[in-house]
Structure 1
């Protein structure tokens, strides 16, 4: 059971990892290089971009180009200063007015090697994970507004800005350290709960088994007391049981013979004493009519009231069939003591 619970926990965690893997995203290393007004080369490098969900995750470089007129690069045919025959170039467009897919497709159709989208005003350098399912096969990243505006102003002023986009590091729920901690804790909790459940079930079964055995021992002890109260007879020649061919012991299926000792149950059925006593110790009911001798003799109730079972009062049992009292059967006779062949009843201390 414990192994099954552990395997189930592992399967659930595997499914969780499988589904969360779709939320993994890659950061982009962005490097810009240009010559400033002092004729000095300026290089800036940061891990500040995020690859789109449908972007090709690979290295690319080229000169930054912005669309003429609308910086958002929307419309069916935005105009860039370069074309497909030019050296590799990268389109820089602003977020807004149209979908990411429309911006990226427009630049791709005019020969852009990659597309860089910078965020809205007021978002500073925050980014988002773009979704553009119609534009597979081209590199597309997003950068922050401040960085995008800086590059946009340089290009607008006529500065050639060389941009290199490189692959950064993967991020996402199951890649981050806090999520790994969460998964570890969740796995520990599931495993602990499984073990605790297994221990609880095992302890409960052991307890029930112990209680069952204790109940069986108690009932067997009560059955011994009940057997001591039953009437015992020695069959004689001429008795009805010895002369009838149809009257047999229902346990051993043997006919009764003179000199055999039989036990008469409270329901008036008789059996060989050596046959019925082991039966009653285990089942405590008549083999023929299922009469419960413990209930018929009231052994359990008497034992609770503290009455000595070795000195029982004279008991009379009324056998009822169809709701009518038929006859009475005395179970004990003070003038004729009873003797038993079963040694399990000899020398047993009385319990009140």
Structure 2
């Protein structure tokens, strides 16, 4: 694979890991609807969003007659008996939490043909539920309900009342579903958006400013170039001129030989060009096409910035002067002060002179 595909693979791995991590924080509630015929021969229906899908359970609907395990209500053991061993009519196993793993409970009911498994919580837990992890028992709907709801259904079944249950998908829940998370994400989104817009505006304004400044500088230089062009020598070639008598003489801009009657411009470097050729060139480049001589400098048309810079006084520079046998320190900005008596620093130069005479022999 090429180097260009490696960043794409890394991005795909990062996104897949992000999706996997996000999925671990998501859980689905389950709608539980039960119906039964009471002692008055009336059909009662109860509905609540009180179930919680297991982490390894498919999130889909299921329905059937609720069935309790015979003997152990927790449905543990190798082959717990439910009184049913077929898938017709559909039935749902209702077991209590405890004694064995969720996977063992679910697999035991799945082997006997249950359409779904409902686990109700332990005594004293009220209507609270928890996330069931059953990685060894998948491909069957498994939910958990609270102890209160579970015990109510158990009492109905022990009284000989058939209970029909329908399980359906509820709502997805996760950390970003929380109100505070929504506030946080909204604020973060607006901050990132505002920062992006501010950055874009800053970059655009800076680019426009640079373009405007460059345009102003270009216009100023063109104006100076026009002034310089007016000061250049212009003449008309006549018969007998060196330029018209030699075939090797030609304009370096249009690459054509000079003819009698051509109007030419003579630059400060003495190079000659057709007037109509060199003037557009000088407006754009301001230099000789042959020797790159700057006509603005040659004609004294200086840049304002250069003039302001040259107008500034030079910094104080100290130089060393030699007078007789003594070395003096003299400021460059005070050339009139050459009196050795006024200087603060003196250096003995005799040793230097003796070394020089010894070197000369």
Q: TM-score range by the shorter chain?
A: 0.5 to 0.7
Q: Report the CA distance between 1:97 and its aligned residue.
A: 5.4
Residues 271/120 of structure 1: CA separation in 2 closer, same or farther (3 Å cut): farther
What SS does the aligned partner of 2:280 have? helix
- Hey, what does 1:333 align to over in structure 2? none
C-alpha distance in 2, partners of 1:202/1:303?
27
CA contact (8 A) 2:121 2:144 kept: yes
SS of 2:65 mapped into structure 1: strand
Matched, 1:165 2:176: no
TM-score (norm 1): 0.60
| CA positional deviation for 1:273 | 2.8
Unaligned residue ranges in structure 1 (runs of 5+): 1-14, 307-352
Q: What's 1:268 paired with? A: 270
Give the Cα–Cα distance (whole angstroms) in 2 for the partners of residues 252 and 42 of structure 1.
Answer: 103
> For the structure 1 residues 231 and 67, does the alpha-carbon distance in structure 2 shift closer, same or farther, using more than 3 Å as the test?
farther
Tell which deviates more after alignment, 101-110 or 24-33: 24-33
What's the offset of the Cα at 1:228?
Answer: 3.2
**1:273-293 CA distances to partner (integer Å, 9 max, x unpaired)?**
332122211221212233333
Asked if structure 2 preserves the Cα contact closer than 8 Å seen for 1:285 and 1:292, the reply is yes
Give secondary structure in 2 for the equivalent of 1:102: helix
- The 8 Å contact of residues 28 and 59 in structure 2, kept in 1 or not, is answered as no
Write the mapping of 1:67-78 to structure 2, written as runs, cut at 5 A. 68-69=71-72, 71-77=73-79
- In structure 2, the CA distance between the partners of 1:129 and 1:120, relative to structure 1 (3 Å rule), is same
Alignment of 1:62 onto 2:65: yes
TM score, norm. by length of structure 2: 0.59
Deviation at 1:272, TM superposition (A): 2.5
Gaps of 5+ in 2: 1-14, 309-361
CA positional deviation for 1:116: 0.9
Work out the CA distance in 2 between the residues paired with 1:181 and 1:21: 21
**Contact map agreement 1:119 1:144 (CA 8 A) in 2:** yes
For residue 104 of structure 1, report the CA deviation from its aligned partner: 0.9
- SS of aligned partner of 2:302: helix
- SS of the equivalent of 1:262 reads strand
Shift of 1:257: 4.7
CA contact (8 A) 1:55 1:141 kept: no
* In structure 2, C-alpha distance between the alignment counterparts of 1:192 and 1:225, rounded to whole Å: 49
CA deviation string 1:122-145 (max 9, x = no partner): 654233454546555543221123
**Aligned partner (choices 276, 279, 282) of residue 280 of structure 1:** 282
Structure 1 residue 294: Cα displacement = 2.9
- Counterparts of 2:245 and 2:45, CA distance in 1: 124
Distance verdict in 2 for CA 1:41–1:271, change over 3 Å: closer
Q: State the match for 2:330 in structure 1.
A: none
- The correspondence of residues 185-334 of structure 1 with structure 2, limited to 5 A, is 203=205, 205-233=207-235, 235=237, 238-257=240-259, 260-301=262-303, 305=307
In 1, Cα distance between the equivalents of 2:267 and 2:108? 102
Equivalenced residues, count: 284
Deviation, 1:222, is 1.4
Mapped to 1, the partners of 2:123 and 2:293 lie a distance apart of 93
Alpha-carbon distance between aligned partners in 2 of 1:55 and 1:303, rounded to the nearest angstrom: 76
Are 1:108 and 2:122 counterparts? no
Q: In structure 2, the residue corresponding to 1:83 is in which secondary structure?
A: coil
Residue 41 of structure 1: how far off its partner (Å): 9.4
**Distance (whole Å) between structure 2 residues aligned to residue 249 and residue 81 of structure 1:** 109
Higher deviation after alignment, 194-203 or 59-68: 194-203
1-structure distance, mates of 2:29, 2:74: 24
